[in-house]
Amino acid sequence: MNAGPLASPSPGLRPRARPAPSGTRHRSNPYHRKIDRPSACPGNRFRGFNRFRRGRIEINFLPYPVRYEHATSLPALQQNHRQSQDRGDRLSSDEHVQERYPQTGEMPGMWHPAHRYRPEGGEMRIDELSSTAFAKAMEADPIVFLPLGACEAHGPHLPLGTDTFQPEETVTQVAKRVGGLVAPTINYGQHSSTLNMPGTISLTFDTLRSLVKDILESLHRNKVHKVVVLTGHFGSVHRIAIKLACEHATQHLGMKVMMLSDYQLALHLEKEICQGLEDGHGGLLETSRIMDIRPDLVAKERSHGEFVDSGYLIVSDPERCFPKGFSGDAGLASEEKGRRINTYIVDTLTELVRANFEG
């Protein structure tokens, strides 16, 4: 889906000098080339300056293309950069997005640098507003979205931030539609079955409940009355901790709070997408969604993982229920399926939010 614009860059951008080396994980993310692509200029000691032709360097890891001409040393580069900025050579983030993605005019995924820094995005993310701008935004009594992510093993084919990217993308899209604000993401959750797997970083139940409770109280002090808490991680203990914090906010602070997991909405499409196949953690649904949101982070080689029921035993090695670290047929995942699921989730959550807060 993103291959079109990249395959035929507009005249302003040079075509790729050569295909990305095999095994690269960031092929479709132009800003991550510096990780995988060695410098095209032998002897160039500055990482990221990956093209050097005819006295011209293009730096691609910034959220906008920067081109220097006839620069051969770092001070010369810095001087050129200042001059380039003075001349207004730098493309704005918006122009860059348009150039790279002319078909949609949108950068896929929320966490892309161009998303984070483009001007209109700043209106929506609380952490990009000034205190004054935030106070002004609060005059409209907006709905505030609080995404909860996780750093959790999701099998060998998905990034640890899988449960972060999904709710972030969802709340970004829904907030745009309903004119809401997005609070900074909580990037950690409580984990049980994947606790001993490499890369899983877990909070305890009490910490998570206190964290969400404190943030909701603080939002309340900031005159926020309507909150949507969306968690990407679907663990039962994790959700109970969040729910208790939300109940405190509704019962003691008089706030109106919705709390759910986007995975709950994804499950509405399980029958259609999975066609009767068993699916679960890091499986077909989640893999497809990440392929739509962050295709650069999904491994090309994907297999089938089983879930092994422990029969109600409380065990010290709960990871035994995921011998491969995930469950479901990730090999059947596709960007198209992910787009279908993500669109459904955004549409459904928008309707729910409107019914709850605007109806």
Query: Would you say 262 or 296 has its CB closer to Zn ion?
Result: 262
Considering only the stretches 75-83, 161-169, 203-211, 241-249, report the one whose residues sit in contact with Zn ion under the rule CB under 5 A. 161-169
Candidates 44-52, 157-165, 246-254, 295-303 — which segment interacts with Zn ion by CB under 5 A? 157-165
**Nearest CB to Zn ion, comparing residues 65 and 235:** 235
By C-beta, is 2 or 162 nearer to Zn ion?
162
Question: Closest separation between CB of residue 152 and Zn ion, Å?
Answer: 7
In order of 94, 99, 357, the CA distances from 86 in angstroms are: 19, 22, 47
Rounded to the nearest whole angstrom, what is the least distance from the CB of residue 251 to Zn ion in the complex?
30
Residue least distant from Zn ion (Cβ)? 163
CB 103, min distance to Zn ion, A: 29
Of the pair 100, 289, the CB lying nearest Zn ion is at: 289
Do 296 and 168 touch, CB atoms closer than 8 A? Answer: no
CA distance linking residue 206 with residue 204, whole number of Å: 6
Q: How many chain residues are in contact with Zn ion, going by CB under 5 A? A: 2
- In the bound state with Zn ion, the residue whose beta carbon lies nearer, of 31 and 234, is 234
296 binds Zn ion per the rule CB under 5 A: no
Parallel, antiparallel, or unpaired for β 226-231 and 256-261?
parallel
Query: Is residue 163 a contact residue for Zn ion (CB under 5 A)?
Result: yes
Range in contact with Zn ion (rule: CB under 5 A) among 49-57, 154-162, 220-228, 293-301: 154-162
Among the listed residues 282, 292, 233, the one whose alpha carbon sits nearest the alpha carbon of residue 262: 233
In the complex, least distance from residue 281 CB atom to Zn ion, rounded to whole angstroms: 6
Q: How far is CA 4 from the centre of its chain?
A: 22
Q: Please say which residue, 163 or 335, places its beta carbon nearer to Zn ion.
A: 163
**Number of other residues whose CB lies within 10 A of the CB of residue 310:** 13
Site for Zn ion in 92-111 (CB under 5 A): none
Which stretch in 1-9, 29-37, 134-142, 155-163 sits in contact with Zn ion by CB under 5 A?
155-163
Nearer to Zn ion, 52 or 165 (CB): 165
Look at the block and give the residue holding tokens 């829904």. 174
Choices 17-25, 158-166, 171-179, 181-189 (CB under 5 A): range interacting with Zn ion: 158-166
* Minimum separation from the CB atom of position 26 to Zn ion (A): 21
Instruction: Kindly tell me the burial class for residue 16, based on how many C-beta atoms sit within 10 Å of its own C-beta (0-12, 13-18, 19 or more).
Output: middle
Give the footprint of Zn ion on this chain (CB under 5 A): 162-163
